[in-house]
Amino acid sequence: MNYCLLSIKRTNVTVQYTDSLIKHLIKLYGHKEVDEKEADAFLFSICDVTEIHDLVKASNIAKKYGKPLIAGGQFCYHFKTVLLIADIVNIGHIFDFMECKSIEEIKNLDCVYYPGKDKIITPSYRIDWSKIPIIHTNKKGYYYWGGTGCKNKCRFCYVSWTNAHIINPKARKLTSFRKGMTLTIISNEYSDKASEKNTCIRVKDMMLVDYLRKEEKVKNIRVGIEFFTEASRKYMGKQISEKEILSAIDKSKKDGNSLKFFFISGYNTKQEIIDFIKFLPDDTESKRKIRLVFNNLEYQMFTPLHKERKKMNPENYIDVNWVNEVYNKYILAKKYYIRTVPASNPAHAFCRMGMSWSFTKEQLDFWMDKDREVNRTPLRDLDYNKYYEYLWTSKVIENEYFANEIKMPWKVLND
């Protein structure tokens, strides 16, 4: 097969890694990467809903040459949305797809869907780790695919509910790397005992319970705390106690780690967020920083939380101004070790949900237009409440996938 991979000038490092991996696999499986005029089909990897604007550009190129646009990538579980633009969609991983020698073979795959196909979709979870390379992404940076999914199944997590938890055994056994270079392992968690001798990793994603078990020599540790009360964390599947959070802060000072705690706002009330920040210990001497990174909640399809989307409360969502006010009032004078990374305006989260919940061209065109509107409007001028209302008036809040449309290895979808 002659493939033309369309990257559309994307700059995100993880996306660059994905495109580089696809190019590597095209060659490895005996296909050819060609220019637009010689292509049998065009390929585009859509990892995130915001890349749907680039998918439209890719579609226009494919139409110009009269060849099919085949979309793959993490966002393709939303096959109804993607097929409003692409001709064919591959759901899951790429290895079954790459073994095909023709468009007809591709269409016959259980993990492939296209308009008119009358068959339940079964995503492909097969990964041939022996064919995965370490890829040079920038001057001193390398990326390596370390795993998919997560050993936990949090109510809100799209990645864990759409991916099987699969670990790359080679990534767990790396013990050295090029001097002066940074290797980033792409994985939702990185806590296997086989990685203890790994000295080439500079950033590690871990569960808090794994971080607390032993001394961790990696400088930068990233942990998802997610919610602001013990009760909400337990309900969402992140059973992290206040005592464990304090223990992690104390451990980071002793071991010399820099921690990033990731939080999801939009579920807890603003007062609950303030109470959590006040709970964190005062410290005016520590030089080791802990960053609190805020993101606004999305009620993503394929997760149990999506069934609660109509209970969403826009008053719980936060923006940059609110986070800065909280920082100045509760953190600046007494908690020197804490830095905050504010969430974007909630309008961005509502637009992301609007686009990913769209099942008709009319809905998708509406939400893509609103997304462009939000991106060109100064944050101070955004009234995010109206974008929340659009979720109702555009009727995307009514849309959902069903078990008779896509087969997942665990029960999430409505029967």
* pLDDT tens string 243-300: 999 999 999 888 888 899 999 999 999 999 999 999 999 988 877 789 999 999 999 9
Tokens 């579609």 -> residue: 59
Distance CA 238, CA 244 (A): 12
* pLDDT tens string 9-47: 666 777 888 999 999 999 999 999 999 999 999 999 999
Burial class of residue 174 (count of CB atoms within 10 Å of its CB; 0-12, 13-18, 19+): buried
Q: Is the pTM of this model over 0.85?
A: yes
* Confidence at residue 124, expressed as pLDDT on a 0 to 100 scale: 96
* pLDDT tens string 338-392: 999 988 899 999 999 999 999 999 999 999 999 999 999 988 788 999 999 999 9
For residues 331 and 282, is the Cβ–Cβ distance under 8 A? no
Distance CA 295, CA 261 (A): 11
Q: H-helix or E-strand containing 252?
A: helix 242-255
Going across the sheet that includes 69-72, the strands are 32-33, 2-5, 41-45, 69-72, 88-90, 112-113
